[in-house]
Structure 1
Amino acid sequence: MGKFITIIQGHPDAQTRHFCHALADEYAKGCEDGGHEVRRIEVARLEFPLLRTKDEFEKGTPPDSIKQAQDAIRWADHLVIFYPLWLGSMPALLKAFLEQVFRPGVAFQYQAQGMMAKQLFTGKSARIVVTMGMPAFVYRWFFLAHSVKSLERNILGFCGIKPARATLIGQVEGMNERQRASWLDEMRGLGDVGK
């Protein structure tokens, strides 16, 4: 039996197609090949405000675009998040989206004071795919892949999503066609097995 997979395209540019988009497309094709059901969220095409207060985060009513994204995430067994590395982290638009969708009552539930929050997304897994200009090994070993670890532990893990695996793709601007094709093939293979 196939998995339910939600692909979150976190590239903030809605006007131009980037390598992140091609990678997500191939992952989705692999999902179809493997008999998985897929839903897609294009963060750059959604309209939503920034959350500016604790009260908005905890009690505010999210816009319809966010409610639909929350439904797609609840539905999924596996999430795949694509984004380019900007200033060492995820783009601000993707972070703002995650703050909107991973709210109390949806992704976690506050408990009595001093208790850990109840994780509402247990049983889900994730893959994080990050493109970057620097070599991936430099980001992983010198910078300790800090933004990816933060996403894995502080957002996904906090809500019960684990394991969260990462694919780091470096030097995207300098890739030749053979290298790009190899990464696209890898994404299609990961989609086929739903990982």
Structure 2
Amino acid sequence: MKKRLLVIDGHPDADPARFVHALAKRYSDGAEQGGHEVRTIKVAELGFPLVASRVDWESGDLPPDIRDAQDAIAWADHLTILYPLWLGDMPALLKGFLEQVMRPGFAFVAREGKLPEKRLKSRTARLVVTMGMPALFYRAYYGAHSVKSFERNILRFVGIRPFAHVLIGNVEGNASARAGWLDDLFDFGEAGI
């Protein structure tokens, strides 16, 4: 089944040498090979302020890049979100992007005396997280807390599920391991997952 796939490259550094960018490109290449429709958002190339108050978040002006990102998310069947682990969590620019894009009225609607209405149901997601430490150590010792928080507090809150994640450790390691991960991302894209 052909899908509408959105790739969100969450690396805050636009330098093309960053491994996250290569992974995002391979996923997109695989998706195109698989006959899927693909769109890409590169967070490092967007212009938007950080949300600084509740008023900003609930009713502040929506920057054009954020409006375009919301349109792409609304269009998509599946989101693949890639980012490097920085200080144990997603980079601040990606968090700022998510705070802008997942605003009330778009991603959810508050309801008096009830849980919010989840507006992004029927979408699935995969997180791809790179890190310098071994992925097994991050999962075993730190409990993959950033990934769990992203899945529970953002994706599930707005109705995106099911979701999967891939942890890629030792990114500064050997080239053959990186080549294997690039092949895996191509395969995920081709399969639309």
**For this structure pair, what is the TM-score category when the shorter chain's length is used for normalisation?**
over 0.9
Question: What is the Cα deviation at residue 29 of structure 1?
Answer: 0.8
Residues 127-146 of structure 1: per-residue CA shift (max 9 Å, x gap) = 00000000001111110111
1:194 alignment counterpart: 192
Detail structure 1 runs of 4+ shifted over 4 Å in the superposition. none
Report the residue type matching 2:185 in the other structure.
Answer: M
Counterparts of 1:16 and 1:33, CA distance in 2: 22
How much is the aligned-residue C-alpha RMSD, in angstroms? 0.8
Residue 41 of structure 1 is matched in structure 2 by: 41
Q: Helix, strand or coil for the counterpart of 2:115?
A: coil
What is the distance in 1 between the residues matched to 2:61 and 2:77? 25
- Write the letter of the residue equivalent to 1:134: M
Listed as ranges, the matches of 1:1-195 within 5 Å are 1-112=1-112, 114-174=113-173, 176-195=174-193
Instruction: Give the distance between the partners of 2:50 and 2:78, measured in 1 at CA.
Output: 26
Cα offset for 1:178?
Answer: 1.4
In 2: Cα distance, 1:183 partner to 1:49 partner: 33
Q: Which amino acid aligns with 1:102?
A: M
TM-score by length of 2: 0.98
Query: Which whole-Å deviations, capped at 9, do the CAs of 1:27-56 have from their partners, x for residues lacking one?
Result: 001101111100000000001000010111
For residue 2 of structure 1, report the CA deviation from its aligned partner: 0.8
User: What do residues 87-141 of structure 1 show as CA deviations (whole Å, max 9, x unaligned)?
Assistant: 00000000000000000010000111x3100000000000000000000011111
Aligned residue pairs total: 193
**Separation in structure 2 between the aligned mates of residue 15 and residue 165 of structure 1, nearest angstrom:** 27
SS class of match (2:111): coil
| Greater shift in the superposed pair: 16-25 or 129-138 | 16-25
Say which SS state the counterpart of residue 66 (structure 1) adopts.
helix
Name structure 1 gaps, 5 residues minimum: none
CA distance in 2, matches of 1:119, 1:139: 30
Question: Matched residues in 2 for 1:135 and 1:177: separation?
Answer: 15
The one-letter code matched in structure 2 to 1:77 is D
Query: What is the aligned-residue identity percentage?
Result: 56
Q: CA deviation at 1:16?
A: 4.0
State the SS of the aligned residue for 2:40.
Answer: strand
SS in 1 for 2:143: coil
Instruction: Find the aligned partners of 1:86 and 1:149 in 2 and give their Cα distance.
Output: 15
